[in-house]
Homo-oligomer: A and B are copies of this chain.
Amino acid sequence: VAEQLRQLKRLTLVDVARQAGVSSATVSLALNNSPLVRPATRNHILAVAERIGYTRNATARRLATNRSDCLCVVFAVSSADPFYWDVMRGIMETAERYGYRLSTSTPATRTIVNSPDLPRIDPMDTDGILALNWHDRYVVRHLVGFGVPCVLVDASGDHPDVHAVDNDDYAGVSQGVRYLISLGHRRIGLVGASLDAPFGRQTWRGYADAMAEASLTIEPWLVINGDFSMESGVAAGAALLGRRPPPTAIFAVNDEMALGVMRAAQQQGLHIPGDLAVAGMDDIPWAALASPPLTTVRVDRYGLGRAATEMVIGLVNKAYSGPVKQTLRPELVVRESC
């Protein structure tokens, strides 16, 4: 078998051409399904290629066509957060489906003097760039400067002119808050995020608009910003529950903080959802395993990766006529915490 493989490795276009009694150019055309070659000829060639076990040399093809069939995934931070695993699966499977390979640029392996955050990319060996996590303007300009299509994944805040695929954070929060309202809640607390970042502003608007829509007044003391950690959720939850009158429901802009709120409430002997309804956003793997299982707004992480990859591949092939910005709607997942 090993010997056979060595043989296979050495089979080339000319071998097929000889066997088929045509020229190598015709074989090339046939293999690329060119309409120039007569169907009968092509079928014959394909049959011969199949019979002798020919497979074409991808590297030679790339050299001749000046492509690399490779996308580069750029990470700003090396995060163990499972969020990125789902995104990455979307990228991997889509890249695979379209015949692309992946190179990566992670902070761990970037070591340029002066600017350790600047990814080194070989534009000659990269057809497209996918940027994960949030990168600052300088880095994004650097990435775009390679002259290769570049798509930002769920991090387009502050980068209005760059291709991007984002989760609709605004819609997510407003959806979640509307759900709480539909359950009869009127005093709804928000555990938000810093308004310095686009995410914080988007989610705040989602909350505010949903409340206004229902003619509910927004009480400033029912809004606390956290830092995405469970601890900050616990703190925010405890603080919110200390208000008078306390909220009957709390929406947190990510699940970890929502779980923190749940813990704070349970520590005070409160029953969920009886005494307090809690909802989060993301649908992290262990949201469903909490007790009670957390109602949340699921972010389509896999879809983000897939859409971004399809977008960058479309740009590579100049076949993309769609929007430069694409937004994915998150989906409400009703469980038992409300």
Q: Which residues of A contact B (CB under 8 A)?
A: 1-2, 5-6, 8-9, 55, 57-60, 62-63, 68, 70, 78, 80-82, 84-86, 88-89, 92-93, 95-97, 101-106, 108-109, 122-125, 145-147, 230, 256, 259, 263, 285-286, 289, 291
Contact = CB atoms under 8 A, between A and B. Distances in A.
Q: How many copies does the complex hold?
A: 2
10 contacts: A57-B63, A59-B59, A59-B124, A80-B82, A85-B85, A93-B108, A95-B104, A102-B104, A256-B289, A285-B286
Nearest to A291: B263
Contact of A85 (B84, B96, B102, B122): B84
Contacts of A263: 291
B104 A92 contact: yes
Majority-rule SS of A interface residues = helix
A147 to B, nearest CB: 4
B109 A104 contact: no
Given A80-B85, A101-B103, 17 more contacts: A1-B147, A5-B146, A5-B147, A55-B122, A57-B125, A58-B122, A63-B63, A80-B285, A81-B285, A82-B82, A82-B85, A85-B85, A88-B88, A96-B109, A101-B102, A230-B289, A285-B286
